[in-house]
Amino acid sequence: MTFQNTLQFAQQLDAKDELKNYRDEFIFPQHNGKDVIYFTGNSLGLQPKRTKHYVDEVMNDWANMAVEGHFYAEKPWWDYHERFAYPLGKLMGAKPSEITVMNTLTVNLHLLMVSFYRPTKTRYKIICEEKAFPSDQYMFQTQLNFRGYKIEDALVEIKRREGEHNIRLEDIVAKINEVGDELALVLIGGVNYYTGQVFDMKAITDAGHKVGAIVGFDLAHAAGNIKLELHDWNVDFASWCSYKYMNSGPGNASGCFIHERHHTNKDLARFGGWWAQNKERRFKMDPQFDPIIGADGWQVSNLPILSLAPYLASVEMFAEVGMDKLIKKRDQITAYLEFILHEIDAAIDGTEFEIITPSNQEERACQLSVFLHGQGRSLFEYLMKNGVITDWREPNVIRFAPVPFYCSYEDMYEFGQILKKGISNR
């Protein structure tokens, strides 16, 4: 498609958008009486209007039934989480038995490492990507410290080549092969939070398995954003948060994937708890731990239903639409944003926007990270003061995420006009 940087063209794209009605399903913060232009769904998604109904339902059941809500609410609390298995399974490319929801993301990654990071005297190293999200870096450091390893000996970072912003797949595979028999675990982000690069998870999983390692992924920036086939890719485990592209609310519950081949492996260590116990015998209060066969067997505590209610509201919206339609719009609206950025870059002397997210659509999703040569934080602050909610990352990067559920093509055009004024006024 040949794009045009005009209001009329943007409105024409919106008129043809088969997801346009879903914009009205979300609540936008206001700026001067208008919806903000919201580019930070990669940090916290907007609130769906239907969320309140789901939360109110739990609140009313709690008020009217108290403890009896566990069994007699319209959506009984004791098995509330099971409503996620099928729709989340479709979104993640997993069998329902491979999906559970519990805790928060880093808590789940720590728990999963109990099972899947099993170092030996000779096989103890972990591979991650350079500039992984800080929470993952701290997780690796503390896990290795806890187990008595020196970080410089056991943690291997795959680095970008000099002068490049993204990590090459061949370098990931080469590093896996180089570490070889010493490699216990590959654990990287499916989508890099800083650059927006999408990694080839199938190729990485295949390479890790060939040298005898376990392979897992932090899918914080991938869930609800890219097409995932975790079961078919043979991924061992994964976890993700729900509050970014999946719009479940700040700091909300996490999802987990555990491949079915691990479900009956009694040699796998895990930290147990009551809610992982055999469901048929849970209330027998048996002293012996007998976990559920499936991902639910990794749960620990009973679930925070007030946190799950907003997540269920969003998951059911994803089930209505399906990832194929979201990805179709994601690709087009991200390309349109890229076009607008290049148009402004070319039109104004003294500016240079370097988009450090891969230009290849197969290696990117709903994010463009822009390095501001010759600009700076003052431009970010101008955008924020003028109703463009975006995200600053040191040293000089703004991240833009045009989420297909609620961003419009007119948003992209209007953003371009605000950006042009912000640069011209400097």
- SS3 string, 4-21, reads CCCHHHHHHHHHHCCCHH
The rounded percent of the chain whose pLDDT value lies above 70 is 99
At which residue do the structure tokens 């943690």 appear? 155
The residue type found at 269 is A
Question: Which tokens is 96 given?
Answer: 């329902």
Q: Is 350's pLDDT higher than 90?
A: no
Report residue 147's pLDDT band, with 50, 70 and 90 as the boundaries.
very high
Tell me the DSSP string of 374-400: T--HHHHHHHHHTTEE-EEETTTEEEE
User: What span, in angstroms and rounded, lies between the C-alpha atoms of 37 and 412?
Assistant: 8
Distance, CA of 155 to CA of 149 (rounded, Å): 9
* pLDDT, mean over the chain: 95
User: How far, in Å, CA of 167 to CA of 159, rounded?
Assistant: 7
| Per-residue confidence (pLDDT) for residue 111, from 0 to 100 | 97
φ/ψ region of 234 (left if φ > 0, alpha if ψ in -120 to 50, else beta) reads left
pLDDT in tens, 240-282: 999 999 999 999 999 999 999 999 998 899 999 999 998 888 8
Residue 149 clears pLDDT 80, i.e. is over it = yes
User: How does DSSP classify residue 225?
Assistant: T
**What per-residue confidence (pLDDT) applies to 338?**
97
CA 181 to mean position of chain CA atoms: 31
Report the distance separating Cα 203 and Cα 184, nearest Å.
17
**Model confidence over 366-392: pLDDT tens digits?**
999 999 876 678 889 999 999 999 999
Predicted confidence at residue 418, as pLDDT, reads 95
Can you tell me the distance from the alpha carbon of 63 to that of 324, in angstroms, rounded to the nearest whole number?
40
CB contact at 8 A, 349 and 374: no
Tens of pLDDT, residue by residue over 210-232, are 999 999 999 999 999 999 999 99
Question: pLDDT higher for 195 or 377?
Answer: 195
E strand spans, 64-163: 99-102, 125-129, 155-158
**How far is 205 from 211, CA to CA, in rounded Å?**
10
State pLDDT tens for residues 93-140. 999 999 999 999 999 999 999 999 999 999 999 999 998 899 999 999
- Inform me whether the pLDDT recorded for 351 exceeds 70: no
For the chain, which domains are there? Answer: 7-49+322-424 (3.90.1150.10), 53-321 (3.40.640.10)
How far, in Å, CA of 118 to CA of 225, rounded?
Answer: 31
